[in-house]
Amino acid sequence: MTTHTTMEVEPYFYRLTDAQRIEVVRCLAERFEVSPSEIAKAAGVSKTAVSKWLRGLAAPQVDKLSAIHGAMPDAVAKCLPQPAPTRVEVDLALSVVARALGDPALKEYVLAQLESLLPGQVKREIAYRVSREDVELFRGKLKAEGLSAYSVAARVRYLVKFLNAVGWILTPENLQRVYAVESPNVAQKTAMALKKFIKAVVRARDPAAAPLLYDAFRLPKVKARGLHAADAGGGEARVGGGAQDIAVRRRHMGHHGRDWR
């Protein structure tokens, strides 16, 4: 007596509509050039039945499609329609992307892939979120350079004071605010601490963002008529008037091309 075993049917096939199952068979014939005879043999049906599938007059039953899948799994897998992602799958994917963006080694790759998948829809933000660990690393690097305890404490103090003012996030726009402080001396020392921090810490953590942040320290071009006083030798220049004066010392602002190395 012949025993017929029940073929295991892929659960996913049950979710396909008649039209989708027909398209799978058409894909095999058109994209992979599988002949009607080969499809009929794999499904265990006649060529007439396959002809009806290809013409859209009938749809292959789930067990027949599963049999074809068993005979040519790779081709069938590539012909199957992609199911709509679930909310859980989307949340999981986003959590993975978020973790990858936090890894300097993967960040550029992830952004490049997103830009490729979503052309014109991905806007890169030049920003670096500073952590307490970063500050302690900065303190350690300053000590390693042989600076005095006073100098180390002073640079860290200027850095932290600025970070508190900008929410511990460095952006080119935020860094321009260093020159809006009232005292040129404080602006100078704060800028020096920030530039040192970017070169010593940010460059290692986020190589792509570091030079762009450092570049924010370049002196903005100012029209001559807006200067109340300017020292041709690199002295102090004031723009505007009253409480909104912005005082800077040109010789301390540096230049991206010369200082960044």
Query: What is the mean predicted confidence (pLDDT) over 226-254?
Result: 36
pLDDT confidence band for 232 (50 / 70 / 90): very low
Both 26 and 98 in a single domain?
no
**Does residue 4 lie in a domain region?**
no
> pLDDT by residue (tens digit) across 134-145?
999 999 999 999
**Model confidence, pTM:** 0.45
Domain count for the chain, please give it.
3
Q: Is the pLDDT of residue 209 over 90?
A: no
Q: What is the token pair recorded at 121?
A: 């829809």
124 versus 206: which is more confidently predicted?
206
For tokens 């049906």, name the residue: 45
The sign of the torsion formed by the CA atoms of 136, 140, 141, 146 equals positive
Residue 5 lies in a domain: no
In this prediction, residue 247 has a pLDDT band, given cuts at 50, 70 and 90, of very low
Same domain, yes or no: 100 and 58: no
Grade residue 259 by pLDDT with cuts at 50, 70 and 90: low
103 with 62, same domain?
no
One domain, residues 182 and 243:
yes
Q: Which of 125, 106, 138 is nearest to 202 (CA)?
A: 138
116 token code pair:
């490729």
Based on the fold, state whether residues 36 and 141 are members of the same structural domain.
no
Residues 255 and 133 in one domain: yes
75 and 96, same domain (yes or no): no
Taking the CB of residue 9, how many other CB atoms lie within 10 A of it? 16
Q: What is the mean pLDDT of the chain?
A: 80
Do the domain assignments include residue 3? no
Query: What single DSSP character describes residue 227?
Result: B
- Considering the domain architecture, whether residues 100 and 113 belong to the same structural domain is answered as yes
Answer yes or no: is 68 within a domain.
yes
Radius of gyration of the chain (CA): 33
Q: Is residue 47 part of a domain?
A: yes
- Least confident span in 19-28, 47-56, 139-148, 181-190: 181-190
**CATH code of the domain covering residue 73:** 1.10.260.40
Shared domain check, 100 and 44: no
Residues 69 and 179 in one domain: no
Which pair of tokens denotes residue 26? 């058409």
- Residue 105 belongs to what domain range? 87-124
* Among 193, 127, 126, CA closest to 161: 193
Query: 172 with 251, same domain?
Result: yes
224 in a structural domain: yes
Range of lowest pLDDT (2-11, 61-70, 224-233): 224-233
Q: Domain check: are 23 and 133 in the same one?
A: no
Gap between the Cα atoms of 135 and 199, Å rounded: 13
Whether 6 is covered by a domain: the verdict is no
Q: Is 238 helix (H, G, I), strand (E, B) or coil?
A: strand
Does any domain span residue 251?
A: yes
In contact, 62 and 13? CB cutoff 8 Å: yes
CA separation for the pair 128, 194 (Å, rounded) = 12
